[in-house]
Each structure stands twice: as structure tokens, then as C-alpha cells.
């Protein structure tokens, strides 16, 4: 048996071999596009240079010299004195509160469900009440918070409840 040394063997030449990579053709379309872009840019510059109005070019190149007016009295001192003596009148409008507000977070058919939601609200650090109401469609147990003096306070508590995954609370005017 003959031993073959595959590691030290010299590779065969690839002349005439079909495994050689074909040469890539010259990208003629891309070359033409690049030449057109460069030529168009050069033509645009030439066109601007030869068709610009010379008066405007000179006006931009050589700004007119103007001298600053010389003031005999300094303007700042009388201005500052006028400011010191000036009285500002401000009209203060009183904002009428539309409150009080309430926030209702649930309306359930059973008191047990309402108590469960009230407990979740208590874990968020807020105090809720359950109110039993009777209507044409039966008895409902409403879980509500408030009264709030401002809408901002109600929104703040609503955001606290959202952080503990209690969503769907509505804010409206207080009804005792």
C-alpha cells in the first residue's frame, strides 16, 4: 500500500480547470450613471456661473459700508430710569373650581366582588367606598373614591391605581 501525504502535497495548477471563478464583467451601466451624474453636476455649476447677474454678485461680494450713527447722549440710562418708574398692572382672574370630583373604579353585581376591588385599592394606599344603588336594571355595587377638591388630585390617584394594574376608573363630578 502506498502512503499518501496530503498535507505536504502541492496543489495542482488550475489551468484548464472548470472550477475557476469567472471574471466579473465591467459594470458599464453603473459607470455610465456615474459619468452622467458628474457631468450633470459640472454643467449645473457652469450654468450658474455664466447666467448669474453680475450686479448681485458684486453686491454680495462687496457689502456697502455704513457708518454707525454717533449718539451724543447714552440711550441706556434714560431707558433704565423709565423702566424703574414704570408700573405694571396685572389682572388676576380667579379660577372657579368645578369640583368636587369622584372616581369610580368598578360597578359589580355582587358585594363580594366590590369588596375584592376595594381591598386591591387599599393595597395601593387609597381608601374606597362601596355604594349600593338600585335602578331599572337591578342592584349594583359601585366602588368609588373621593371626593376630590381638584381634578389634578383625582388624576394623581388614578395614576397610582394604574401602577398596580387597576384600570378603567372614571372621573366625574361628585354626587353624594
Q: Are 97 and 154 in contact (CB under 8 A)?
A: no
Closest alpha carbon to 156 in 87, 148, 165, 49: 148
Whole domain around residue 116: which residue ranges?
101-171
Beta-bridge mates of residue 141: 108, 132
pLDDT at 172 over 80: yes
Closest alpha carbon to 148 in 166, 165, 131, 126: 126
Is residue 167 situated within a structural domain? yes
Q: What is the predicted pLDDT for the residue at 72?
A: 60
pLDDT at 11 over 70: no
Is residue 151 situated within a structural domain? yes
Is residue 108 situated within a structural domain? yes
Q: Are 144 and 157 in contact (CB under 8 A)?
A: no
> What distances in angstroms separate CA 127 from CA 11, 31, 157, one per listed residue?
87, 76, 10
Beta-bridge mates of residue 37: none
Q: What is the predicted pLDDT for the residue at 103?
A: 95
pLDDT at 61 over 60: no
Query: What DSSP character marks residue 119?
Result: H
High-pLDDT (> 90) share of the chain, %: 46
High-pLDDT (> 70) share of the chain, %: 71
Compute how many other C-beta atoms are within 10 angstroms of the C-beta atom of residue 113: 15
- The C-alpha atoms of residue 167 and residue 140 are separated, in whole angstroms, by 19
Is residue 17 situated within a structural domain? no
Mean pLDDT taken over the chain: 81
Is residue 129 situated within a structural domain? yes
Give the tens place of pLDDT for each residue, 76-123. 667 677 777 777 788 877 766 677 999 999 999 999 999 999 999 999
Lowest mean pLDDT among 68-72, 111-115, 133-137, 160-164: 68-72
Residue with cell 353624594: 176
Is residue 152 situated within a structural domain? yes
Give the tens place of pLDDT for each residue, 117-137. 999 999 999 999 999 999 899
| C-alpha torsion angle, residues 96, 100, 104, 108 (rounded to 10) | -140
Domain CATH for 153? 3.30.70.1070
Is residue 107 situated within a structural domain? yes
pLDDT at 40 over 80: yes
Is residue 154 situated within a structural domain? yes
Domain count, the chain: 1
Q: pLDDT band at 27, cuts 50/70/90? A: confident
Amino acid at each position: 500500500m502506498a502512503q499518501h501525504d496530503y498535507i505536504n502535497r502541492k496543489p495542482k495548477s488550475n489551468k484548464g480547470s472548470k472550477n475557476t471563478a469567472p471574471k466579473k464583467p465591467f459594470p458599464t451601466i453603473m459607470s455610465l450613471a456615474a459619468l452622467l451624474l458628474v457631468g450633470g453636476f459640472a454643467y449645473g455649476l457652469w450654468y450658474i456661473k455664466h447666467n448669474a447677474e453680475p450686479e448681485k454678485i458684486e453686491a454680495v461680494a462687496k457689502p456697502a459700508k455704513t457708518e454707525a450713527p454717533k449718539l451724543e447722549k447714552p440711550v441706556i440710562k434714560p431707558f433704565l430710569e423709565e423702566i424703574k418708574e414704570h408700573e405694571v398692572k396685572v389682572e388676576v382672574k380667579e379660577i372657579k373650581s368645578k369640583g368636587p370630583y369622584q372616581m369610580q373604579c368598578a360597578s359589580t353585581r355582587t358585594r363580594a366582588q366590590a369588596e375584592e376591588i376595594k381591598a386591591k385599592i387599599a393595597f395601593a394606599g387609597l381608601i374606597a367606598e362601596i355604594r349600593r344603588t338600585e335602578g331599572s336594571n337591578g342592584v349594583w355595587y359601585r366602588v368609588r373614591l373621593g371626593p376630590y377638591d381638584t381634578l389634578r388630585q383625582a388624576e394623581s390617584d388614578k395614576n397610582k391605581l394604574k401602577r398596580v394594574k387597576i384600570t378603567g376608573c372614571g372621573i366625574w363630578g361628585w354626587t353624594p
